[in-house]
Copies of this chain bind each other. A is one copy, B any other.
Amino acid sequence: MAFMTTGTTSRADANRRRILDVALAELLRDPDASMDQIARAAGVVRRTVYGHFPNREALISTLVDEAVAALSAAHAAGREGVEDPAESVARSVLAVWELADRYRLLIALAQRTVTMQGIRERLAPVRKESTRLLQRGLDEGVFSSPLPAPALAYVHEQTLIAVMEAVNDGLLTAEEAGRCAAVTVLTTAGVPASGATELVAEIAD
């Protein structure tokens, strides 16, 4: 099998991939899910998981790295070439929304200081970009809030989480949720409800 530089997925690779995906889902449900739970859910024996990842920490770490990368990309992609802060925020929220589940994992894990204290640091760049954007909006008078930009960033983050929960509990359909989240975030930033609704509707064709 000398060369397999291109898209060849030996069942080993496929397994590794599936383990990661399943682990994500499983840890989402229960941040304390054991290696055994994860392995079984992936249709594999515990021993096999250890064949791919030296230990639990490594598995989670890989997961977090992937999520951070995807999130960061979506966040950036949403706002490139846009100068209006409000539109920029709206587009970012809509873009990030696709990664809702992965994002939730990050949060769920970030809240457990014990397991992984380094997550906050890894997420810092994204948060910083977000803060910078909000700051610009506040400076330009597009946004308005009693909170300083960094704090507002926290609120926006948690707002997304809250809307996700609402979807989970059936209070909202997944389709409308993205737009609702975007409008709500803008509103929280002090953009008048009417304008926010209009802007988001316009963006999300």
State the A residues within 8 Å of B (CB).
29-32, 108, 111-114, 144-148, 150-151, 154-155, 157-159, 161-163, 165-166, 169, 171-172, 176, 179-180, 183-184, 187-188, 190, 192-193, 197
CB-CB under 8 A for A187 and B188, given A158-B162, A166-B147, A193-B145: yes
Extra pairs beyond A147-B166, A147-B184, A151-B180 (17, CB < 8 Å): A32-B114, A108-B111, A145-B184, A146-B176, A146-B180, A146-B184, A146-B197, A150-B171, A151-B163, A151-B171, A154-B163, A154-B165, A154-B166, A155-B162, A158-B158, A158-B159, A187-B190
Find A30's partner among B114, B150, B188, B190 (CB 8 Å cutoff): B114
Verify A166–B151 contact, CB threshold 8 A: yes
Q: How far is the CB of A192 from chain B (nearest CB, A)?
A: 7
